[in-house]
Structure 1
C-alpha cells in the first residue's frame, strides 16, 4: 500500500504554484503569451473576455493578471474598476495595449496597475513584469498568512493570558503585573510563559510585533 499523502504538503504545493491569468480577445496573442510564460515554468490560464475571467475560480497561490486595455465588450480598464468595486482579493495587473496613451496609463497606474506595456513589447519585458508582479503577490500572501496564523494563536489564549501579555506589551515587569492584577508573581510567570509558547514568540519584542500587526495594542483588546 502507498502511504497516505500529507494534506499539509498538498496544500503547500498548491499554495506555491504561480499562476498568470491572461485576458485578451486575440487568440494569437493569448497563445503566444501562454507559450512564453509556460516556458519559464508558470501556469497560465487564458480568457477571451473579462466575463470569462470573472466566472473562473482563482488559485490560492501567487498570481497576476496580464490584461489588454481594449477588448470587445468590457474593457480592461473597466475590469480593473470592477475588481476594485467588488472588493475582490488584490491581484497585480499588467496592462498591455497597441493603442496606449498617457491618459490611459495614468488612469491604470493610479488604480493600482503594476505595469503598462505597449505592443509590440519584448518577451523579456513581459517576463520581467510578470516575475516582479508574482514576487510582490507572494509577499502579500505571506503577510496575510502570517497575520491569520497570529490571529488564530491569539484566539487560543485564555482571558487571563490575554491580560498578562497586554501588560507585558506595555513594558511592565512581572512583579508590577502581579500587583496590577492582584495575583502572585509566579502565576504571572506561568501565564506569560504559556502565552509566549502559544504565540510562538521567542522574545517579548517578537510578541509585541505580532500583537501590533494584529492591531491589538491600539485596540487594547
Structure 2
C-alpha cells in the first residue's frame, strides 16, 4: 500500500501544497460560543487555512464540504446534540474519515477515553495554548492529506484495472501467480506470442514496470489477496 502513496505525502513528511484552490486545506469549527468560535477562526486563518465555523452540528452538516484535506474542531458540550454524540454518528452521515479535534472546558478522563475510542485525533481542554491547537490542526490535516492521496491513487489503479479486457485480466492473474508466458499460454490454450502480447498490453495499461509493482496494485484494490 505504501508504494501507492505519493512521496510528497509520505508519513513523517509535510504534505505538499495543494495544486489549486479546490484542494485547499479546510478547518471546520463547531462551537456554540460566538467569541471562542470567532477567535479560533481568526487564529487558523492566520495560518493561511480555509476556515468555516458553525454554531451547531446541524449547520455544519448542511454546509458544503471542500474536496481537499479537512478536519473538524468540535466542542464537546453543545446545545442540543453533544459533540461526542455527533462524532459517534459521523460515519453514518458520510463524514467518517474526517479527523476530529475535541475541545472542552469540562474535560474528564472518561470523556477523553470515549472520544479517542471513537477515533478522535486530539482532545484539548479550554483554555488551550494557540500553539497546541495549531499543532493539532496541522497534524490532522497532514493525516487527511495522506488519506486522500491514497484514495486518489487507489481510484487511479481501479481505473487502470477497469480498462483491461477480460482476457488481459486473466493473463495478469497468471502473471501475479508467477507464471511465465509459456505456462500462461498452456493454461489459457493460446499461443505463447499471444500471451506475451496480452501481457505487455495489460502491464502498460496497469502502468506497472515489474511484476512486484503489479502485484502490489492488484492487492491494494482487492483483486488478489496479500500473502499470509
TM-score by length of 1: 0.91
User: CA–CA distance in 1 between the matches of 2:111 and 2:41?
Assistant: 25
2:212 pairs with one of 205, 209, 212: 205
Unmatched tracts of structure 1, length 5 or more: 1-10
- Following TM superposition, where does structure 1 have runs of at least 4 consecutive aligned residues deviating by more than 6 angstroms? none
CA displacement 1:44-69 (0-9 Å, x = unmatched): 00000011001111111100000000
1:15 Cα shift? 4.7
1:69 aligns with 2:76: yes
Unmatched tracts of structure 2, length 5 or more: 1-17
Count of aligned positions = 209
CA displacement 1:142-170 (0-9 Å, x = unmatched): 11111111111101000110000000000
Q: Is the 8 A contact 1:98 1:120 kept in 2?
A: yes
Tell me the residue number matched to 1:175: 182
1:186 Cα shift? 1.1
1:184 Cα shift? 1.1
Query: Counterparts in 2 of 1:159-198, with a 5 A limit?
Result: 159-198=166-205
1:82 Cα shift? 1.8
The structure showing larger relative contact order (alpha-carbon pairs under 8 Å, at least 6 residues apart) is 2
* Bigger mean CA deviation after superposition, 112-121 or 85-94: 85-94
1:87 Cα shift? 4.4
Q: Is the 8 A contact 2:23 2:66 kept in 1?
A: no
User: CA–CA distance in 1 between the matches of 2:131 and 2:139?
Assistant: 12
2:143 pairs with one of 136, 144, 154: 136
